[in-house]
């Protein structure tokens, strides 16, 4: 069980790290661009006359602020999951 946990974590880390290694020399600025953005480009190629008919109401003013908001999203989720397991573990110890 503990061993399996370790292997699962190693597998996830490897899945994230191997691409970095594979593409280590292709530093053309496009490497590791978002797939969503690539889809947007593909749309423009297929149909150059298409113009989006609605604009986002709010856009993060810079990449840094976008990162901050993504970090906030992850932190909210991770914080709650940590709270959940902390609570459950604490209750388990109290009952034992």
Partner 1 sequence: MHIMEGFLPVAHAAGWWAASLPFLVAGTKSLKRIVMEKPSARLLLGAAGAFVFVLSALKLPSVTGSCSHPTGTGLGAILFGPSVMSVLGCIVLLFQALLLAHGGLTTLGANTFSMAVVGPWVAYGVYRAMRGAGASLGKAVFLAAAAGDLLTYVTTAGQLAWAFPDPQGGFVGALAKFLSIFALTQLPLALAEGFLTVLIMNALKAHSADELRALDILPAGGIEQ
- Residue 3 Cβ, how far from partner 1 at the closest point, in Å? 11
- Residue 79 Cβ, how far from partner 1 at the closest point, in Å? 8
- Interacting positions 41-60 with partner 1 (CB under 8 A): 42-43, 46-47, 50, 52-60
Instruction: Give ∠ CA 67-22-74 in degrees, rounded to 5.
Output: 25
- Residue 66 Cβ, how far from partner 1 at the closest point, in Å? 6
Are 6 and 13 a contacting pair, CB within 8 Å? no
Q: Is 3 helix (H, G, I), strand (E, B) or coil?
A: helix
Applying CB under 8 A, does 96 fall inside the site for partner 1?
no
Cα-Cα-Cα-Cα dihedral sign, residues 57, 63, 77, 11? positive
CB atoms within 10 A of CB 60: 13
Binding site for partner 1 (CB under 8 A): 1, 4-5, 8-9, 11-12, 15-16, 18-20, 22-23, 26, 31-36, 38-40, 42-43, 46-47, 50, 52-60, 66, 69-71, 73-74, 76-81, 84-85, 87-89, 92
């Amino acid at each position: 069980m503990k061993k399996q946990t370790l292997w699962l974590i190693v597998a996830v880390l490897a899945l994230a790290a191997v691409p970095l290694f594979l593409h280590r020399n292709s530093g053309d600025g496009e490497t590791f661009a978002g797939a969503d953005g690539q889809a947007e480009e593909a749309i423009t190629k297929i149909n150059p006359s298409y113009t989006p008919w609605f604009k986002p109401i709010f856009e993060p003013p810079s990449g840094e602020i976008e990162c901050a908001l993504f970090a906030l999203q992850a932190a909210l989720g991770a914080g709650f999951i940590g709270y959940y397991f902390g609570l459950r573990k604490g209750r388990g110890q109290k009952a034992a």
